[in-house]
Structure 1
Amino acid sequence: MTSRWAVIGLWLLLAAAMLPLQGPLQSRAADESDTFLARGSESAEAKRVIEAHFRAGSESAAVIAYFREGGITSDDRLRIADDMNRICAAGTIPTLKSVGSPYGLACGDDDPLDLSPGGPGLLTSSDASVALASASLTDDSTPVAEAAAATIRSIVPSPDGDKSGLRAWVTGEVGFEADRSEAVKTIDETLLLVTCGVLILLLLAIYRSPLMALVPIFVVGVAYVVAGGSTYLLVRAGVTTVSGQSTAILIVLMFGAGTDYCLLLVARFRDELRRTADVDAAIRRASERTAPAILSAGAIVVAAMLVLVVADYNATREMGPILALGIAVMVVAGLTLLPALLGVLGRRAFWPAVPRVEERPRPVAPLWRRVGQLVQRRPALVAAGVTALLVAGALGNLGGREPLDFSESFRSPPESVGGEQLISERFIPGRAAPVELVMPYGDREAVLGGLTSGARTAVEEAYLFAASVPKREGGESELALAQAYLKLEPFSDAATDAMPELRRVAREAAGGERVLLGGEVPEAYDTREALKRDNRIVVPLGLLLILVILGVLLRAVVMPLYVIATVILSFGFALGVSSLIFTHVMGQPASDQTLEQFAFIFLVALGVDYNVFLLARIREERVRASSTRDAVVTALERTGGVITSAGLVLAATFSVLMALPLESLFQVGFVVALGLLVDTFLVRALLVPSLAVLLGERNWWPGSPVT
């Protein structure tokens, strides 16, 4: 008893030490300025060079789009000029560099763009209904963007308009960053509250005990605090980066998988309490029986997450160590803190449904008896039927889906998206997202001329944004920075597809000298290519590691192979059916570029993870049964309830992501939740047991089922 209290005390002390680090972790996660870049890409290099060599490159800008139907009036011009002066005098934007409009520079240094009415035609629309003002900042961090956007929006008219009907949207890099930060700011709090609420309701339904509904949540909560604090220490040490997306997935993964690990031990503990009056013996036997399965399941998820560190895409790569650490901490807590709590609480943990010692084992639930009989009598028919259904659903992937652009990345488009759409409609299409070019200073005219001289390129015009003469690192070359505006809608597939041609033309015009293209459109292209490369590495490497772990766990080759195959089938079904639902039911034909990769990693790792519980029980029962067929049926009947409960808990946890404002997280939550439900009710309950019955003793090749 003393040792149990010591374990509980140590975990509480560790959690108390890590709790103050949760705030700093969220502050780090809020800055996502480099999260969605591809490592080693040209666009990432362009951003680095611009920030290192150009004063303007380390800045960010808020673009204010003023709009009046019928045209900007003289009174509107006075209002705009007054707004610019108020922004200059606000004093709440310490990093403010300059503020200007088409009607003059309000404050700050000379702007590199010509701000006069007769300038390059980039600040007033052709129908005179839109005027673009800007506020440049010397800092492009997320907190600065949030503060600047809040100040500017408090001064200028709202998108709904002022009393005179003049309307304004704050957009540009500052507006985008502020709106995205606002969308993810409350994600962790929302996820924690909703996830805990959903899990408590499910656990109450499963155990009909208020205390047992809270114990797993307490264990996972303590583990999450420790994992979060440890993550911050890794980030501070420079081992990894962190974003709001990563912390959101960490919450879902830890609470979903962690609760399931707890369920496995709790269910076995309750069974043992029905066999013996000795609580110590019950918790000891329950731990001994479930620890190998929990360790193996956790190892599979940790291995799958660590594979992500080889990815080139920053948002994917940073998740690897963070999620692996979270699951590792959760496994340790599940094998130490949970048994200690259960040992202290004893039978009281299940009040009012307290388990009593029973002379005979409880009969199998009627549902799982019927499922076991179906699998035993018609294994080939069941396997063929489920496989056909999964293959049919996977055919939904044949249609293909275009990638989400920025305007589609929010469930409810914020102000910055409305401003971007207004600019795209009234100006050069590429004005909303210019391409940035870094080139040798002496080649600037040739490059800009080459990009705008022929219809073969997608560039409408190239405008010299800034010229500077700093030394390139390690060389003597002088550099120039320019902006190019595309003829194409910058967030379209056509614009993304045009990037290789633009880069080729720019290099040829520079005589083979290095020209870097950066900005949102080149970043979208580089992200797409990086994800393709990542999938060619992450997917096979992840499958190989999981296969090895399964082989070691089961001491067999055949069973791991078909388990992996069935989980891949359920992934294909979930992605295909989700694609059809997104496109034809929800009216969203685009998907986040990371959806396939994240869905694959989570569904394969977690799908195999929970198949481990069934397979471990099959091996355990095989020692006592006369044949593998009998062992499969017995294991299915005995574990069907708890494993299905675990699958429901995990699916419900991932479905919480659907309540968040970001489309990417909504889609991940939908696909993974659907895949887990399919895996729970079709793959794990029917397909895997049917295949195991069909193969019989061959499941264990080349080993022996009883060794």
Structure 2
Amino acid sequence: MMTGKVSRWVVIAVWIIVATILTITLPDVKDRTSNNTADLPADSASVVADKLIKKEFPNSSGIPALLTWHREGGLTEADLAEVQYLSKELTENPLTQQSFLPPLHEIPLPALQGSVSEDGTTFVQPLFFKENTETAVLEKNLKIINRIVTERVGLDPFKVQTNTEKLSLRVTGPVGISVDATGLFSGADFQLLLATVILVLVVLLLIYRSPLLAIIPLIGVGFAYLVTSPILGFMADHDWITVDSQAISIMTVLLFGAGTDYCLFLISHYRSELRHHESKREAMIAAFKDSSGAIAMSGLTIVISLITLLVAKYGAYHRFAVPFSLSILIMMLAALTLVPALLSVFGRASFFPIVPRTPEMEESRAKKKGKTVKKHKEAGRIGNWIGNIVTTKPWTVILTCLIIFSVLAGYSSQIKYSYDILSSFPEDMNSREGYKVISDSYTSGELAPATVVVDTDGKDIDLADELKKMNLIESVTDPINSKSNKDLQSYEVTFNINPYDIEAINSIPDIRSLAEKELKAANISAVDEKVWIGGQTATQFDKRDTVKTDEFMIIPIIIVLISLLLLAYLRSVTAMIYLMGTVILSFFAAMGLGWIILHYFMGVEAIEGTIPLYSFVFLVALGEDYNIFMVSSIWRKKKTMPIKQAIREGVAETSGVITSAGIILAATFSVLATLPIQVLVQFGLITALGVLMDTFIVRPFLVPAITALLGRSAFWPSKVAIHKEKERAQ
């Protein structure tokens, strides 16, 4: 259908019409993103605790913004007067969704000075907003605060360096973090898209040296995005899914990387067939027949891997599932319909100025110009060399690869993980600078204290003294009784370390155990149901547990599903086992190498805790893509030639296109490493390294060497015909 004189234009027209209608009638997904959606399940301990705290202790409800006033030489009375002026102004003219503001303007100036840090440089003014306030509203409110203070002091306090003698103001805490996180992603979208398009275009031009051929894959990706975006926008508009900016950013990279790969595999086959068929239509039919199965299979592999994220309990994982899988599914359809139709329209002109022709066409053309025909070599020298190595010295290749991967994989066990959202921000980000000022001037735990609530059953219990004895606790407030339930008491616990540090996170079970122990000592029953711990540290503890639970659940599911797909496609248990084994080993090696670079060369102390599952989903699915394309070539050739020859020719045939595809895919993921968001830098680097390992080690060396070593056993129990010629040492 994609090759007919009329039908090819029908296919192109259908894509144009569908993309146009969807773009006009449905909202763009970027207009329906939500960046403050909860990541933890509603039944998580910290979520239940925070809900109870907001209900029973309303004075502590709301999202806090910590306005951090700082002057390196020491705050003056005039500076504190500005704090009081802002307090008075916001009390008389509350900001949108403002819920609570301590009346600092009613406090005598000498008393206010008592709340300044011991070194006299810093004062923290808390401001609370209602729960579920949109980030856009919070951002607008911070701009109003900025304007009020700027008009009073005569300069922008948000831009004043915190290490100067001038008065500076930073907004940190949950509000500052939320606003900064949204700003990072909103600024990164266009930068990421532009960089990815330019990168893919340049690499395609270098590979094919054909302007038209460099543009055709981008057209396919562009139409896939134009169709995907409004569909996702429609789904988000009807609350079927929730989409955040981070998911859209990575989805864009995935579309360009994987989508271009699919186009390259088809283009490579088409170019090869144009050297055997004078008719461009017959060449496309043959190319489509040889490549469509592998393209569909690899696309389904990624789609199924990504859709498994729907079973995740952690919200960020869950939100990735539909955008990623849908975008790849639509891109796969574009690669199997739109791109073949475009290539059929342009034919050999697609490859201009290096146009592929049949030997007869070349000879006829040469005669007209009075030149000698140059014989074309189907496979490059490097591809032939690799094919010979893996078939003549399989043990050497396998052992070398396993040693390299094992050493690198060993470093993956040394990785330290962080759940500190601030560590993902640039050091000069407003909220991160505010946190540093607080941690330098006060105790760092004041940024995010924990709240411990206990049900005393009406008995006289005071946990404050016992909580203060814990090593990581700086201070504990006196108990506050709930107005609606006198049996409930709350304590505000301040850590003496960063409340996002692993040590603080690990202390949550200890705090709970201590509280339960004291309740037991007072002869209170069912103590496990009468202790609640809220706050950011408790939230990070639940995040870590939820992420780990998802890893243990999703990773096995992905392995099983991809294994079944491989088994159905190749009809070989043996091949399924070693193809899965190689990409899993490659994943651990990529994690290890990523840690070496991030930790020992870039000074990263810990990587974000969600990175392992993100990287696994992409690397295993994308790694199998390359295996499928290369192995499908070997499978096809083994029907007409000895196995070792099939391996040599299969490796040589696919080496160029898979290498090109791997470079493009790795390059697109590496674009993420240019963004000022550490979680994307880490994910982009590790994924790019994994793709390069699959491209230059697993696919050309390890998998073919294992196939050569196993011989006929590599296809067991496949019944597909194998060439009966006696195997010789070739």
TM-score by length of 1: 0.91
Q: Distance in 2 between matches of 1:84 and 1:682?
A: 63
Aligned residues of 1:450 and 1:506 also touching (Cα < 8 A): no
Match of 2:7 in 1: 3
Percent of pairs with identical residues? 31
- Describe the shift of the 1:555–1:164 C-alpha distance in structure 2 as closer, same or farther (beyond 3 A): closer
Cα deviation 1:411-442 (Å, max 9, x = unaligned)? 44411111112212322432101113455597
Partner of residue 573 from structure 1, selected from 581, 585, 589 = 589
CA contact (8 A) 2:497 2:504 kept: yes
How far 1:562 moved relative to its partner?
0.8
1:143 aligns with 2:126: no
Aligned residues of 2:309 and 2:554 also touching (Cα < 8 A): yes
C-alpha contact (below 8 Å) 2:419/2:544 kept by paired residues = no
1:59: how far off?
A: 2.6
Partner of 1:129: 121
- Counterpart of 1:333 in structure 2 is 334
1:96 counterpart letter in structure 2: Q
1:502 and 2:511 matched: yes
- Provide the rounded CA distance (Å) in 1 between the counterparts of 2:667 and 2:41: 32
Match of 2:36 among 32, 37, 43: 32
Q: Structure 2 CA distance, aligned partners of 1:444 and 1:243?
A: 47
Q: Is the 8 A contact 1:40 1:312 kept in 2?
A: no
5+ unaligned residues in a row in structure 2: which ranges? 150-156, 361-374, 723-730
Distance in 2 (alpha carbons) for counterparts of 1:161 and 1:622: 68
- Please give the residue correspondences for 1:661-672 in structure 2 after superposition, counting only pairs within 5 Å: 661-672=676-687
Residue 77 of structure 1 corresponds to which residue in structure 2? 80
Cα 1:227–1:56 shift into 2, 3 Å:
farther
1:588 corresponds to:
604
Q: Distance in 1 between matches of 2:340 and 2:466?
A: 68
Q: 1:89: Cα distance to partner? A: 6.7
Work out which of the residue numbers 486, 492, 495 in structure 1 matches 2:501: 492
Task: Please state whether the residue corresponding to 2:257 is helix, strand or coil.
Answer: helix
Describe how 1:99-178 pairs up with structure 2 within 5 A. Answer: 99-100=101-102, 102-104=104-106, 118=111, 123-139=115-131, 140-156=133-149, 157-158=157-158, 160=160, 165-178=166-179
C-alpha distance 504-28 of structure 1, shift in aligned 2 (>3 A): farther
For residues 109 and 546 of structure 2, what CA distance do their matches in structure 1 show?
Answer: 42
Aligned-partner SS, 1:124: coil
Does the 8 Å contact 1:441/1:467 carry over to 2?
Answer: no
Q: Which letter maps to 1:545? A: L
Aligned residue for 1:256, secondary structure, equals helix
Give the partner amino acid of 2:625: D
Amino acid across the alignment from 1:544: V
Deviates more, 1:148-157 or 1:160-169: 160-169
Shift of 1:154: 3.5
Is the contact between residue 30 and residue 181 of structure 1 (CA under 8 Å) also seen in structure 2? no
How far 1:136 sits from its partner (Å)?
A: 2.4
Q: Distance in 2 between matches of 1:187 and 1:234?
A: 24
Deviation per residue, 1:333-382 (Å, 9 max, x gap): 11111112112222222222222222487342111111112122211111
Question: Which residue pairs with 1:110 in the alignment?
Answer: none
**Quick one: distance in 1 between partners of 2:645 and 2:512?**
64
Give the distance between the partners of 2:463 and 2:494, measured in 1 at CA.
Answer: 11
Amino acid at match of 1:391: S
1:145-171: per-residue Cα shift (whole Å, max 9, x none)?
Answer: 211222223343235269972222121
Q: 1:503-559 CA distances to partner (integer Å, 9 max, x unpaired)? A: 233345554243332221111111111122112111111111111111111000111
**Paired residue type of 1:44:** V
Three-state SS of the structure 2 residue aligned to 1:170 is: strand
Moved more, 65-74 or 202-211: 65-74
| Aligned counterparts of 1:55 and 1:426: Cα–Cα separation in 2 | 29
CA distance in structure 2 between the partners assigned to 1:120 and 1:451 by the alignment: 31
Structure 1 residue 702, shift from structure 2 partner: 1.2
Aligned counterparts, 1:58-73, within 5 A? 59-73=62-76
Deviation sequence 1:205-243 (CA, Å, 0-9, x none): 111111111111111111122222222223233333221
Question: Number of residues paired by the alignment?
Answer: 688
SS class of match (2:33): helix
Q: How far apart are residue 304 of structure 1 and its match?
A: 1.0
The alignment status of 1:548 with 2:564, answered yes or no, reads yes
Q: Distance in 1 between matches of 2:252 and 2:329?
A: 14
For residues 40 and 556 of structure 1, the distance between their equivalents in structure 2, rounded to whole angstroms, comes to 44
Residue 95 of structure 1 corresponds to 97
Q: Which amino acid is the alignment partner of residue 177 of structure 1?
A: S
1:382 alignment partner in structure 2: 397
- Is residue 2:282 matched to residue 1:286? no
Q: 1:13 and 2:6 equivalent?
A: no
Q: Which amino acid aligns with 2:146?
A: R
- Please give the alpha-carbon distance, in whole angstroms, between the structure 1 residues aligned to 2:404 and 2:611: 23
Tell whether the 8 Å contact from 2:85 to 2:105 is kept in structure 1 after alignment: no
How high is the TM-score relative to the length of structure 2?
Answer: 0.88
AA paired with 2:247?
S
What residue identity is the alignment partner of 1:153?
Answer: N
2:261 is aligned with 1:260: yes
Find the residue that maps to 1:498 and give its secondary structure: helix
- The answer to whether the Cα contact below 8 Å between 2:454 and 2:489 also exists between their aligned partners in 1 is yes
Contact residue 403 and residue 591 of structure 1 kept, 8 A: yes
Amino acid at match of 1:530: T
Q: 1:161 to 1:377 in 2, by over 3 A?
A: closer
User: Which of the pair has more CA radius of gyration?
Assistant: 2
Q: Does 1:242 align with 2:258?
A: no
SS of residue in 2 equivalent to 1:678: helix
Q: Which residue identity lines up with residue 705 of structure 2 in the other structure?
A: S
CA contact (8 A) 2:71 2:165 kept: no
Gaps of 5+ in 1: 106-114, 471-476
2:529 is the alignment partner of 1:529: no
Counterpart check, 1:600 vs 2:602: no
Distance 1:70 1:445 in 2: 47
Q: Mapping of 1:196-275 within 5 angstroms? A: 196-275=197-276
Deviations 1:178-208 (A, max 9, x none): 1111111122222211111110011111111
Q: Distance in 2 between matches of 1:624 and 1:265?
A: 23
Q: What is the Cα deviation at residue 320 of structure 1?
A: 1.7
Q: Is the 8 A contact 2:378 2:653 kept in 1?
A: no
The one-letter amino acid of 2:574's match is V
CA gap of 1:480–1:402, structure 2 versus 1, over 3 A, is same
Query: Are positions 1:640 and 2:655 aligned together?
Result: yes
Letter in 1 for 2:537: V
In structure 2, the residue matched to 1:44 is 47
Distance 2:220 2:562 in 1: 27
CA contact (8 A) 1:489 1:495 kept: yes
- Per-residue CA shift, 1:313-349, capped at 9, x if unaligned? 1111221222111111111111111112112222222
Q: Tell me the residue number matched to 1:473.
A: none
Cα distance in structure 2, aligned partners of 1:465 and 1:4: 74
For 1:81 and 1:401, the matched residues in 2 are separated by: 44
CA spacing shift, 1:497–1:62, aligned 2, 3 Å: same
Q: Aligned residue for 1:520?
A: 536
Q: Which amino acid letter does the alignment assign opposite residue 138 of structure 2?
A: A
